Amino acid sequence: MKRFWILIALLLAVGGVAAGFYVVRASGGRSVAGTAQVIHAERRTLANVVNATGTVRLRVGSEVRVGSQLSGIVKKLNVTVGSHVHADDVIAEIDDATIEARLADSEAQAYLDHASLERARVNYERAEKLRAQGLIPLQQEEDLQLALEEAKAKYQKSLRDRDLVKVDLNYVRIRAPISGTVASVSTQEGETVAASFTAPTFVTIIGDNALQLVAMVDETDIANVRAGNPVTFTVDSFSSRDFPGRVASIAPKATIISGVVNYEVTIHIDKAAQLLKPDMTANVSIRTAQHEALLLPATAIQHDGDQTFVYVSGKGAEKRHVITGNKDGGMIEIKRGISPGDEVLLTSGNGASNPQPKPAL
């Protein structure tokens, strides 16, 4: 009799465990005795992705060295390292005392040459009248005409010399050729610069939106990459943030690294580039195409060594081996192993153990 009651107790214990994983049929996700819930694979359009590594670089031509075309003393320097400037902002000023003196001298010379021109014109006009009356010889009239032409040429030259000094006066104020951030300053206020042979560099400016991403794509994947493909990438400094971009160009010539053929893919960074710095390493995902796929939450996927499987509701909890594909957020593509109608058991977040397949009786 005692054995009978022991057997009854064992049967009740086994029944209680089995009831914990009993699946009540219903649509959508539902709890299974508080330890699991039933879900269905979600059909979604999923992008094919090419993964690669890349480096953030400065775009060619984005770094500009700004110098002086005049020699003189730096009277004022308006920027420091890290300053942001807009195109045509005044970066520095050269002492203009020498230029102003040259300008005054050229204007005075132009005034004298203009007076000489007027005198030559009056002499020639008088000679014309006298020659018409036969009072002076032809040669004298011609000499006065040549003198007038020379006076005109001399006056024109003095005007051009004055204009040239005015051009130099414009170079007294050194302006930013592009909008960007000052990366370095190599000249300080009070220093004397000499521009006899080469223009001395005042500052180096890195233009706005000057960064681009260069990714190395394996030859097996490059055939699927096209200009305009959308890109997302992360860098170690902001590992939880996805930066958007798009493929700008693909190098026609391969780069061989350790015997592996790769192609440089240049990627335009769409936004938030101000957070990035040159030479940062990036993990790159290039979306090349789209396809229909079945997806399950990552928490539904189980692993046992090299095997990947899920539990499917049936006669108990059936262990089903699956082949996974790309990830999309917290979802994983299931390439093989389940169909849209299968009811997959998703373990809850209460720390309960995974459901076990029901043993055969």
Q: Whole-angstrom Cα distance, residue 280 to residue 301?
A: 34
Predicted pLDDT at 5: 54
Torsion sign, CA atoms 216, 220, 221, 225: positive
Q: Whole-angstrom Cα distance, residue 285 to residue 247?
A: 11
Residue closest to 181 by CA, chosen among 274, 320, 285, 295: 274
Predicted pLDDT at 36: 64
Residue closest to 354 by CA, chosen among 291, 323, 306, 311: 311
Tens-digit pLDDT profile for the chain (361 aa)?
A: 545 555 555 555 444 434 444 333 333 444 444 456 888 788 887 777 899 999 999 888 788 888 888 888 899 999 999 899 999 999 999 998 888 899 999 999 999 999 999 999 999 899 888 888 888 888 888 888 899 999 999 999 999 999 999 988 888 999 999 998 898 898 888 888 877 656 678 899 988 888 899 999 999 999 889 999 999 999 998 988 889 999 999 999 999 988 889 999 999 998 877 788 889 999 999 988 777 888 888 888 888 888 888 888 877 778 888 888 877 777 888 888 888 888 888 765 433 345 555 444 4
Domains and CATH numbers, the chain: 20-41+301-361 (2.40.420), 50-61+210-289 (2.40.30.170), 63-93+177-206 (2.40.50.100), 96-171 (1.10.287.470)
Residue closest to 244 by CA, chosen among 258, 254, 253, 234: 234
**Tokens 């960007």 map to which residue?**
180
Model pLDDT for residues 180-217, shown as the tens digit of each residue: 889 889 888 888 887 765 667 889 998 888 889 999 99
Model pLDDT for residues 133-150, shown as the tens digit of each residue: 888 888 888 888 899 999
Please give the angle made by the CA atoms of 332, 232 and 252, to the nearest 5 degrees: 115
Q: Whole-angstrom Cα distance, residue 142 to residue 146?
A: 6
